[in-house]
Amino acid sequence: MQPIILFGGSFDPIHNGHLSIAEEACRLLNAEKVIFIPAKNPRWKNPSDIKDRKEMLELALKNRKNFEISDFEINSVSEVNYSIDTVKYFLSKFPDRKLYLLIGYDQMDRLKDWKDIGELAGLIQMVAYARPFYSKDDEAIKNYHIRIIETATNTFSSTDIRTGKDLHAPLDVLNYIVDHELYFMPSVKQILNPHRYLHSISVARTAYEIAKGNHLDPCLAFQAGLFHDIGKDLSQEKQKVYMDLFFSQFEPMPSFSYHQFVSSYLANKLFGVDNKSVLQAIEFHCTGKGMMSDLEKCIYAADKCEPTRQFDTLGMREACIANITKGFAALLKEHAQYFEKAGIDFSSNPLTKSMYASYLK
């Protein structure tokens, strides 16, 4: 019979890295399934409420036949969950199966402090997946006979998701974080007025759809959409201060467009966003510019055609989801016609003028 992999952790929250690691381990070890074991009271951590963590885990694992969740540690009456107790439980449950215990490089330097680690190493084969920025602990590998998976590497972390620095998680998990105002979301809600808060969430979800339809990274699009207006509710005077300090190369610029630059700055400083493509998509979501990346087009379009706008945006949204190049050009053409009828001279803004010149030749 095929082996079973035990994958314990706080999963606060579950993210795409956890899923890719589990899939890779399942493939390399020819396992039947991976059992995710969320810890109710993990050592050395003060996690979020187990109810939220489990619900996000259920959302992430739905429709994945070889992944399942165990409530063993959740239902435990112990103040702290110890891996030795968990492993003994599963050994008794599957007496005829080979079991693996999946851990990360970041846990290896603490193995010596695990309860009954010598006994644990004799009971089950531990498998460690490589993580960037964590060195291989050769002594632990030797002492506890650890098998290493080198190929399952990624930089995603639950810590980064909790701060907003990175949002590489399944869409259902991202929506849960937004809807239940977890982690960084209370800060976003405090910064934005209620209308803009809802608009930003809608832009994030629309950007995800457009990005996914065009084979772009939808998590980057969601992140850019969520933070694209984070500086817009600052006073014009405060926005001008940021412009003079950090974006003077774009001056002179109409004051209504200051917020796109300020939002890029605040996304980095307040939430740690450091992906350049995300920051640039935020930076030009209002005015656009010549020669835009597909992600920049995605955020520009999502801002204009998200469903809470006070006009029918479905056609533009569907066009952008189907083909961002054609949909973006169609959106610009429609806006140009609107500006012409309203007597608005968009060519007064050099960035917008350059965008229209590039895409409406």
Count Cβ neighbours within 10 Å for each residue of 143-167 and write b for 16 or more, e otherwise: ebebeebeebebebbbebbbbbbbb
Set out the domains of the chain in order of their start, with CATH numbers.
4-158 (3.40.50.620), 184-359 (1.10.3210.10)
Query: How far is the C-alpha of 300 from the C-alpha of 297, rounded, in Å?
Result: 5
Query: How far is the C-alpha of 124 from the C-alpha of 116, rounded, in Å?
Result: 13
Question: What pLDDT is stored for residue 58 in this prediction?
Answer: 98
Query: How far is the C-alpha of 126 from the C-alpha of 145, rounded, in Å?
Result: 7
Going by the DSSP 8-state scheme, the letter that residue 57 receives in this structure is: H
Residues 313 and 338: beta-carbon distance below 8 Å: no
| Cα angle, residue 30 at apex, residues 11 and 71 outer, rounded to 5° | 30
Question: What pLDDT is stored for residue 170 in this prediction?
Answer: 98
Complete edge-to-edge strand list for the sheet that includes strand 67-69: 67-69, 33-38, 4-9, 99-104, 125-129, 147-149
| Sequence-ordered list of residues with C-beta below 8 angstroms from that of 5, at least 6 positions apart, any chain | 22, 25, 26, 29, 31, 33, 34, 35, 99, 100, 101, 102, 127
Residue pLDDT tens, the chain, 361 long? 899 999 999 999 999 999 999 999 999 999 999 999 999 877 767 789 999 999 999 999 998 999 999 999 999 888 888 999 999 999 999 999 999 999 987 788 788 889 999 999 999 999 998 766 656 667 888 888 899 887 655 678 999 999 999 999 999 999 999 999 999 999 999 999 999 999 999 999 999 999 999 999 999 999 999 999 999 999 999 999 999 999 999 888 888 899 999 999 999 999 999 999 999 999 999 999 999 999 999 999 999 999 998 778 899 999 999 999 999 999 999 888 877 777 777 667 889 989 999 988 6
Residue-wise DSSP of 145-181: T-EEE-S------HHHHHHTS---S-HHHHHHHHHTT
- Per the document, the length of the chain is 361
Question: What pLDDT is stored for residue 133 in this prediction?
Answer: 60
Tokens of 190: 């405090």
Rg, Å, the chain Cα set? 24
Distances (CA, A) of 100 to 106, 127, 173, 215, 269: 18, 7, 27, 35, 41
Going by the DSSP 8-state scheme, the letter that residue 234 receives in this structure is: S
Question: What pLDDT is stored for residue 44 in this prediction?
Answer: 63
Query: How far is the C-alpha of 132 from the C-alpha of 150, rounded, in Å?
Result: 10
